[in-house]
Amino acid sequence: MGDVHYYFNKKKRDVIETNVKKAFKDGIKENEVSKIVRKNMQTHYIDRLIIFLFPKLNKENIEKFVSVEGLNFLDAALAEKKGCILVHAHFGPAQLSLCALGYRGYKMNQLGYRTTEGISYIGREVQAKTRLRIEEGKIPARMLYANKFMRPLFTALNNNEVLMTAGDAGGASRFVGKYVTAKFFDNDARFPAGWVSLACKTGASVLPLSLYQNGMNKYKVVIHPPLHFETQSDDTASILKNVEKFVRILEEDVRTYPHQWHFWDEFYEGNLLVKNE
């Protein structure tokens, strides 16, 4: 389906091509851009359709599909009894990380944002009747939503559970909560900062998490060492310094695996990028 989208949706293809070039500037060849765009569209459909695999996953077979590196960092964080925040990007089939950790016995929570903005009628029906049902019933994690009450976040961390949250943005009008502007591929981009404030308030450790494709139909979750905050202060300058630590990891991941990042179609001024006046 990704290939069909690539060949028949020229408008979408052109948007992604333009934005990839904006990020990499002169450091990428034209044929490489085309490959990235095509693989990116394939990745999009894998992410959309992999939910139908989730009901078949369990603790016995999860390792056949997803390996995990860095569990020692997660275990050390949880040993402090203050919970752990895993900050990830919209990379590949992102919710596969929840399955990988949930079926390994970790008490997982995912902070997300549920919206039907910009989705067709059929898309809304599929999301409401299929995707939500699978996400909330077949993934070994509790779904929490940023546009609802925040108390469950504190409760989860107080119970020494794991909270996953996106460190890149949702785009368009889906910017919920606190954001800061950080350099990303030499562009001013908006990044959510609520996870920094949450860590400062709860004392929870923050570990960046990456998900990479690792062969045909296989993936690898990498849990990075904990982020050591420059300061525990909640002012904008201090928060920015801490957000930038995650952004540098994200930038390296996107540079290495550009086709796996979902937000190329939103990488423009007035959306993910700050509009220059």
pLDDT at residue 256 greater than cutoff 50: yes
Instruction: Judge whether 275 lies within some domain.
Output: no
Instruction: Judge whether 276 lies within some domain.
Output: no
Structural element, H or E, at residue 255 = helix 236-256
The percent of residues above 90 in pLDDT, for the chain, comes to 61
Instruction: Judge whether 272 lies within some domain.
Output: no
Instruction: Judge whether 128 lies within some domain.
Output: yes
The pLDDT of residue 4: 55
Q: What ranges make up the beta strands (E) of 52-124? A: 66-69, 84-88, 108-112
Instruction: Judge whether 91 lies within some domain.
Output: yes
Tokens of 189: 């981009």
The pLDDT of residue 83: 98
pLDDT at residue 203 greater than cutoff 90: yes
In this predicted model, which residue has the larger pLDDT, 132 or 160? 160
In sequence order, what are the residues at sequence separation of 6 or more whose Cβ sits closer than 8 angstroms to the Cβ of residue 65?
53, 57, 96, 217, 218, 219
Range of the domain at 260: 2-266
The pLDDT of residue 122: 46
What is the number of residues in the chain? 277
- pLDDT per residue over 85-130, tens digit each? 999 999 989 889 999 999 999 999 999 766 555 444 544 555 555 6
> For the chain, how many structural domains are there in total?
1
The pLDDT of residue 120: 47
- pLDDT per residue over 148-185, tens digit each? 668 999 999 999 999 999 999 754 445 567 899 999 99
- pLDDT per residue over 39-62, tens digit each? 998 988 888 788 888 889 999 999
Instruction: Judge whether 271 lies within some domain.
Output: no
Alpha helices for 103-173 (secondary structure H): 121-126, 132-138, 151-158
